[in-house]
Amino acid sequence: MRAFVLLGLLPALCLAADEPGGHAEEKELSPRAAAVEHMLTERASPAALDKAIAEAKKQGASEQSQFEARFLFLVDRGDDEGIAALLPEMLKRKDSFKLEDSEIFAVKEDWLAVVEYVQAVDAMKKDDHEGFKKHILEAFWLSPRQGAAYAPHIEKMRMQEAMKDVSYGFDQEFEPLKGKQKVKLKEVAAGKKAVLLHFWSPWSRECEDSMPDFAAAAKEFEKHGLAVVSVVSEEEPKLLEEARAMVAKLGEHPPGTWVRDDEKQPLDRLFRVQGIPVMVLLSPEGRVLFNGSPADEALWKALSAISPEIKRPALPEDGKQEKKPAK
């Protein structure tokens, strides 16, 4: 039996060893245990997960543990829609749950907390604020140690509510990251299917590591009729120098438009940017279609709705957002 804890941003989880307060000694696993371990930790792709589940099933893994593997896979991908889709089966299993069939839950309350959490995610997808509050509070009551895991979803719900009232007119001009001619956002957005704002910083390790992948994605987005605008919010001279150097590595003509935020009417304040990197997808009318982490499955679904040819690339391990450097 393993103890299951959702930590921090939801696509992070810890599978701790059995021994309370201790560490299990490393030992050779039985074929069944190895197959179950593989099933619970497989993250490469849905097809790879199906294969791992089939192998574990051959070794005698319970139906409950197979279901748990699918749940963990979706949690790691941050796929709220996929998690919500598990709700009917989860409710069927709720009362018949047996600890001896589980591979990740140490006590029944942790299982019931996850059932409430999934109901909260489902309510969030339906824009049901009262339902979300009810189920997220019950999840916290059942398993307080997992409370930190619920915070990102609470913040996401609040963000969705706040963004409903935002309508951006694309009327601002911005200082370019390099050069002197001001960038008129209305001209950048003209004739485009949507505008993708990319908030980043050279002082973010995640932004630095993901920059080549972002540049490749930005080229694809532009091919499909999106405008991509990368925004640095800080005015620290050293930071701006490093930002220019990082962009220079992308070649003479890096994809998209690269600007410094407006100090008087900053975009990061309007769009409530608290962590980086952050993507904000805007319709041609200035409505917010998405605001959040580039690792969020909802971003890629919003992009695909605009242009079905846009697909999410194969996922490496999703990183956590970093805090914004102070201005």
Residues whose CB falls within 8 Å of the CB of residue 253, separated by 6 or more in sequence, listed in order: none
pLDDT at 149: 83
Q: Which of 157, 73, 170 is nearest to 121 (CA)?
A: 157
Spacing of C-alpha 195 from chain mean position: 20
State how far the Cα of 68 lies from the Cα of 75, in Å rounded to an integer.
10
User: Would you say 159 and 272 are in contact if contact means Cβ atoms under 8 Å apart?
Assistant: yes
Q: Which pTM does this prediction carry?
A: 0.66
For the chain, give the longest Cα–Cα distance. Answer: 67
pLDDT in tens, the chain (327 residues): 455 555 433 333 333 333 344 444 556 889 999 999 999 999 999 999 999 999 999 999 999 999 999 999 999 888 889 999 999 999 999 999 999 999 999 999 999 999 999 999 999 989 898 999 999 999 999 999 888 888 888 888 889 888 988 999 999 999 999 888 999 999 999 999 999 999 999 999 999 999 999 999 999 999 999 999 999 988 899 999 999 999 999 998 999 999 999 999 999 999 999 889 999 999 999 999 999 999 888 899 899 999 998 877 654 444 444 444 444
State how far the Cα of 24 lies from the Cα of 251, in Å rounded to an integer.
50
State how far the Cα of 231 lies from the Cα of 259, in Å rounded to an integer.
5
Report strand pairing: 278-282 vs 194-200.
antiparallel
Q: What angle do CA 119, 66, 317 make, to 5 degrees?
A: 75
State how far the Cα of 315 lies from the Cα of 309, in Å rounded to an integer.
18
CB atoms under 10 Å from CB of 312, counted, come to 14
Cis, bond preceding 31 (omega within 30 deg of 0): no
Written as six digits, the tokens of 252 are 């003479």
Q: How far apart are the first and last CA of the chain?
A: 47
